[in-house]
């Protein structure tokens, strides 16, 4: 019989609350027994409102140390991730960390080293796209050989609009970061260089930022990837990915929609909110973590994936600023990560 995995959640903001709700009401085999937040009153309020029996701890370290906490979810603000993940590793407790794993590649490197030193995989990073049914179907097609070896990827990441506090470099760290992770996974390959070009700026973007951008990545096997990042595209939240192989192409499925004929148009709705697009993937992702912890085998996005994303993102930002082709220099992949 299944015993519920006892979870402690650090950070009870929006994503923390979502994960608590998920682990308590939707997923199988987990239970949130401990929470904490920089704002303890808020943490207590979440426990009350979600009607769960979880203790509120003074801080993340106390939570990690709690004897009944079997695994940890880190949902606090980015700069605190490294510290808590390292603490969980030190305590020998599996840890699911929302992205970014750390705010610097250096920090990710520390976590990688600590995890390797611990002797077993304890860390999963919250990249959810590899859990999306569409990307999985696309990967299955690639891996089946039906389109031959992939040679090029044409991608787009479009948001209807972004707010005042979104800066040009966030197109990399908050937006492209998902492609940086999922495309490595899709191709089972690493990036070796990146170039960024800025098309004519849309009149719909706020004055302080450049939008759209085109990021061109090259992989170790020579596959060329272009990703249009356009965060004020107005019309929808739209994620496109076309893989061009030696003998055919494959395209990420559009979200399934009712086809309408009305008002002189044959149309399908396009989503406006990113949450609707990947909502199911969050469930699958966390369920996979829970099942993995219980089985003693975490297979989700690893600390190494978190490190690779950080190094790639750093190179992209350099490329944004220089206009040049910038190398992406990863350390040698440790055997530990397979």
Stretch that binds its own copies, among 77-85, 92-100, 266-274, 299-307 (CB under 8 A): 266-274
Residues 185-204 that bind its own copies (CB under 8 A): 197, 199-204
* Alpha carbons 11 and 35: distance in angstroms, whole number: 7
327 binds its own copies (CB under 8 A): no
Residues 22-61 that bind its own copies (CB under 8 A): 24-28, 51-53
230 binds its own copies (CB under 8 A): yes
3 binds its own copies (CB under 8 A): no
Residues 103-162 that bind its own copies (CB under 8 A): 133-134, 137-138, 140-141, 146-149, 151-152, 154, 156
* Alpha carbons 214 and 39: distance in angstroms, whole number: 39
218 binds its own copies (CB under 8 A): yes
Side-by-side strand order, sheet with 30-36: 55-56, 30-36, 5-10, 71-74, 95-97, 123-125
E strand or H helix at 107, and its extent?
A: helix 105-118
* Alpha carbons 243 and 149: distance in angstroms, whole number: 10
Residues 55-114 that bind its own copies (CB under 8 A): none
Counting residues that bind its own copies (by CB under 8 A) gives 75
Least Å from the CB of residue 230 to its own copies: 7
Instruction: Please name which of 302, 286, 294 lies closest in space to residue 70, comparing C-alpha atoms.
Output: 294
249 binds its own copies (CB under 8 A): yes
Least Å from the CB of residue 213 to its own copies: 10
238 binds its own copies (CB under 8 A): yes
Stretch that binds its own copies, among 83-91, 163-171, 174-182, 264-272 (CB under 8 A): 264-272
236 binds its own copies (CB under 8 A): yes
Kindly give, in sequence order, each residue whose CB lies less than 8 Å from that of residue 35, ignoring residues fewer than 6 positions away.
8, 9, 10, 12, 16, 20, 43, 46, 47, 54, 55, 56, 57, 63
Site string for its own copies, 271-290 (x = CB under 8 A): xx------------------
Sign for the pseudo-dihedral over CA of 4, 9, 12, 13: negative
Which one among 222, 275, 297, 333 touches its own copies, defined by CB under 8 A? Answer: 222
Whether residue 137 contacts residue 212, with contact meaning beta carbons closer than 8 Å, is answered with: no
Cis peptide before 70 (omega within 30 of 0): no
């Amino acid at each position: 019989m299944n015993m519920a995995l006892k979870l402690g959640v650090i950070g009870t903001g929006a994503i923390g609350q979502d994960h608590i709700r998920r682990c308590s009401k939707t997923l199988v085999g987990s239970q949130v027994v401990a929470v904490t937040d920089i704002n303890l009153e808020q943490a207590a309020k979440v426990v009350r409102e979600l009607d769960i029996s979880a203790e509120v701890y003074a801080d993340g370290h106390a939570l990690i140390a709690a004897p009944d906490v079997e695994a940890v979810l880190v949902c606090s603000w980015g700069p605190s991730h490294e510290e808590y993940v390292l603490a969980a590793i030190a305590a020998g407790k599996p840890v699911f960390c929302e992205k970014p794993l750390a705010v610097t590649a250096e920090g990710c490197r520390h976590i990688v080293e600590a995890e390797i030193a611990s002797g077993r995989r304890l860390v999963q990073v919250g990249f959810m796209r590899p859990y999306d049914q569409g990307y999985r179907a696309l990967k299955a097609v690639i891996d089946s050989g039906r389109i031959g070896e992939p040679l090029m990827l044409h991608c787009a990441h479009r948001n209807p609009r972004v707010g005042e506090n979104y800066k040009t470099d966030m197109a990399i760290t908050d937006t492209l970061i998902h492609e940086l992770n999922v495309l490595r996974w899709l191709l089972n390959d690493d990036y070796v260089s990146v170039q960024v070009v800025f098309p004519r700026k849309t009149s719909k973007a706020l004055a302080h930022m450049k939008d759209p951008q085109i990021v061109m990545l090259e992989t170790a096997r020579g596959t060329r990837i272009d990703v249009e990042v356009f965060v004020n595209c107005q019309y929808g939240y739209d994620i496109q990915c076309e893989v061009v192989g030696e003998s055919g192409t494959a395209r990420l499925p559009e979200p399934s929609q009712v086809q309408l004929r009305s008002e002189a148009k044959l149309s399908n709705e396009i989503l406006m909110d990113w949450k609707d697009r990947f909502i199911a993937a969050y469930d699958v992702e966390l369920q996979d973590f829970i099942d993995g912890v219980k089985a003693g085998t975490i297979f989700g996005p690893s600390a190494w994936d978190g490190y690779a994303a950080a190094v790639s993102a750093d190179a992209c930002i350099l490329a944004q600023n220089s206009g040049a082709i910038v190398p992406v220099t990863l350390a040698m992949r440790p055997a530990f990560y397979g």
